[in-house]
Amino acid sequence: MQRRDFLSATLAGAASASLPLTALGQTTAPNVMAGSLSEPARDIPVVDSYDVIVCGAGPAGVAAAIEAGRTGAKTLLLEVHGCLGGVWTSGCLTWIIDNKNKGGLVAEIKDKLRERKGSATIPTGNSFSFDAEQMKILLEELCLQAGVTIRLFTRIVATSQKNGRLTHVVTESKSGREAWAGKVFIDCTGDGDLAARAGCNFDYGDSAGQGQPMSMLCLITGVHYAEIKEFIRDEEDSKIGSRSKKRLEEAIIKGGHKPSYTRPSLFPIYEDLHMLMANHEYGYLGTDARQVTEATLKGRAEVHKIIHSLQSLGGPWTNLKVVATGAQIGVRESRRIHGLYTVSRLDLIKGARFEDAVCRVTFGVDVHSVKKEDEAGAYNRGTNIKPYDIPIRALIAKDVQGLMMAGRCISGDFVAHSSYRVTGNAAIMGQGAGRVAALAAQKNILPQDVKWAEVKWSVE
Ligand SMILES: Cc1cc2nc3c(=O)[nH]c(=O)nc-3n(C[C@H](O)[C@H](O)[C@H](O)COP(=O)(O)OP(=O)(O)OC[C@H]3O[C@@H](n4cnc5c(N)ncnc54)[C@H](O)[C@@H]3O)c2cc1C
């Protein structure tokens, strides 16, 4: 009854005349602010039931699903894009930060990419660089081997609960509206979509609610490492403090375009394949489709302007080409879902340790200013970190039972998020959440009731 009530979606609103749903397709350019639309109640098929349902297949989500599957849980992985990997693949971000001290799936993925020659051939220092297409196929293989059911092209749109506990997630796809029953759910959507739909409280942005800029990333070819080395953020450049960024900015400006990000970076993969991050889209909300669309169009247009600028310089840039821009613009921050613990700036400063530590973070604070005029400021916001731990409690939702989070939507403050959000941490958090979720589902208990000693987890 409760599910039926919930799933009977009603797009209610003001007392204005409502439009029958069937009229929607006949209306040209509807004004969404005018009136409201009543959707008739309908039954939604429950496709199947799972021990663990992972929503979002970025670095956190794939790791969560693989680990849950390997721990013996019947696991479903839902993803809106057409491949696994999130920012690693759909986002063209081929650069794993904070990976060196990580074992588990981070080490395994790195090893497997090396084996299949999908890792960088250029020395990259502390970050691990890879080929996005190799990452896509590897993640699919690992998920399938772990017995995970993968559903692509499927967006999380609603949830159902009973007595404060999540029971179903509702999706939309080519197959229409569907429901999936689960014992434990993990929100790995980056934006915290699942938790927000379930009614969890969350924070967004800095104390004024402003988020960091988005960036449209892209992969480029047609230029050779040896000929443009001075512009590349390779191991040598990282050691001397990234002089390459200034040179790249000056080169783009010389070609006729002033990039919206004053520290544009070229990250090496192979001799003839590199990743470019060179734009900042300020003031857009990651949870508003109209704003994300606007940022995407602006970002992609600028990427092409930057490429044209460099091409116009001739010489080593003459044959420069874009291989791919992100299907998804890089959203640095979005909802931070309230958990049983909130990672704070103070934890970073004192190098916090917890008995239930799921991830040890070594990467510093990297706040990309929320306003263009502050871009020249220090990215660490005066916060010098000591390696610190994230407790599993920061990955367990406070307001809804049976729900965990992993990746950039966990419970933390603005400054802490700017440190732990990078993908080496996101993946390990996902793996830890996957194991806890599987154990909770097998014992029919809540994630917070799983004894940490039984998780057999170490961050050392
Ligand atoms: C521009 C930029 C540069 C960065 N640079 C680096 C870097 O160099 N190195 C590094 O390690 N980190 C970097 N980061 C940080 C890092 O990329 C993110 O914090 C990381 O994406 C966290 O992983 P995630 O799995 O939480 O989220 P994501 O990678 O965002 O994955 C979320 C997944 O959920 C899916 N999803 C979202 N909503 C729904 C829904 N409603 N239904 C179904 N699926 C959904 C998405 O399609 C996606 O696949 C950068 C981030 C940005 C934006």
CA distance 421 to 404: 16
| Measured CA distances, 343 to 121, 357, 411, 412, 416 (Å) | 36, 12, 6, 4, 6
Structure tokens that stand for 299 in this block: 């970002």
Domains of the chain (ranges, CATH numbers): 47-207+333-455 (3.50.50.60), 218-325 (3.30.70)
Best residue for ligand 1 mutational test, from 280, 325, 405, 423 (most atoms within 8 Å of Cβ): 423
Phi, psi of 152, rounded to the nearest 5 degrees: -90, 175
Using CA atoms, how far apart are residues 34 and 24, in angstroms rounded to an integer?
13
Which residue from 173, 189, 284, 418 has its CB within 8 A of the most atoms of ligand 1, so it is best to mutate? Answer: 189
- In this structure, are residues 360 and 422 in contact, taking their beta carbons and an 8 Å threshold? no
3-state SS class at 20? strand
Element (H, E) at 236: helix 235-239
- Token representation of residue 288: 């508003």
Distances (CA, A) of 45 to 77, 227, 287, 348, 445: 18, 58, 27, 46, 26
Give pLDDT, residue 24: 36
Of the candidates 370, 430, 447, 373, the residue with the CA atom closest to the CA atom of residue 104: 430
In this predicted structure, the answer to whether residue 17 has a pLDDT above a threshold of 50 is no
What number is the average pLDDT over the span 88-100?
98
| Contacts of residue 378, Cβ cutoff 8 Å, sequence gap at least 6 | none
Three-class SS of residue 177?
Answer: strand
pLDDT at 49 over 90: yes
pLDDT tens digits for range 170-211: 999 999 999 999 999 999 999 999 999 999 999 999 999 999
| Cβ contact 323:348 at 8 Å | no
Locus of tokens 């009543």: 38
How crowded is residue 177: how many other Cβ atoms within 10 Å of its Cβ? 16
Mean per-residue pLDDT, 22-31: 42
- H/E stretch holding 231: none
Q: Degrees (nearest 5) of the Cα angle 117, 118, 121?
A: 70
Q: Residue 170, Cβ neighbours under 10 Å: how many?
A: 21
What pLDDT score does 379 carry?
82
Transcribe 143-168 into DSSP letters. Answer: HHHTTPEEE-S-EEEEEEEETTEEEE
How far the first Cα of the chain sits from its last, in Å, is 48
pLDDT given at position 380: 85
Q: Give yes or no for residue 277 having a pLDDT over 60.
A: yes
Q: Which tokens belong to 264? A: 């544009």
CA 30 to centroid of ligand 1, rounded, Å = 32
Of 366, 412, 425, the C-alpha closest to 212 is: 366
Query: Ligand 1 pocket: which residues have CB below 6 Å?
Result: 55-61, 78-81, 86-87, 90, 93, 95-97, 155-156, 188-191, 193, 215, 217, 277, 328, 330-332, 407-408, 421-424, 426
Please give the distance, rounded to the nearest whole angstrom, from the Cα atom of residue 430 to the centre of ligand 1.
12
Show the tokens assigned to 2: 């409760």
Q: 400-418: b or e for each residue (b if 16 or more CB lie within 10 Å)? A: bbbbbbbbbbbbbbbbbbb
Q: CA-to-CA distance for 54 and 71, rounded, in angstroms?
A: 14
pLDDT digits (tens, 9 = 90+) for 213-246: 999 999 999 999 999 999 999 999 998 878 999 9
Position in ligand 1 atom list of the atom nearest CA 154: 43
Nearest to 421 by CA among 298, 335, 353, 354: 335
What is the Å distance from ligand 1's center to 39 Cα? 33
Residue 59 CA, chain-centre distance (Å), reads 7
CA of 146 to the centre of ligand 1 (A): 22
Rounded distance from Cα 56 to ligand 1 centre (Å): 9
Give the CA angle between residues 74, 437, 202 to the nearest 5°. 125
CB 73 within 8 A of CB 441: yes
Query: Encoding tokens for residue 188?
Result: 């790995």
| Count of residues making up the chain | 460
Which ligand 1 atom sits closest to the C-alpha of 406?
A: 26
Classify residue 452 by burial, with Cβ atoms within 10 Å: 0-12, 13-18, 19+: middle
Q: Which pLDDT score is estimated for 32?
A: 55
395 CA from centroid of ligand 1 (Å): 16
Which of 76, 79, 87, when mutated, tests ligand 1's pocket best, judged by the most ligand atoms within 8 Å of its CB?
87
Tens-place pLDDT, residues 284-323: 999 999 999 999 999 999 999 999 999 999 999 999 999 9
Residue 409 CA, ligand 1 centroid: distance in Å: 10
Report the atom number in ligand 1 closest to the C-alpha of 86. Answer: 49
Q: What is the pLDDT, as a whole number, of residue 261?
A: 95
Joined tokens for residue 172: 């939309």
Query: What is the 330 CA–ligand 1 centroid distance (Å)?
Result: 7
For residue 397, the cross-strand partners are 339
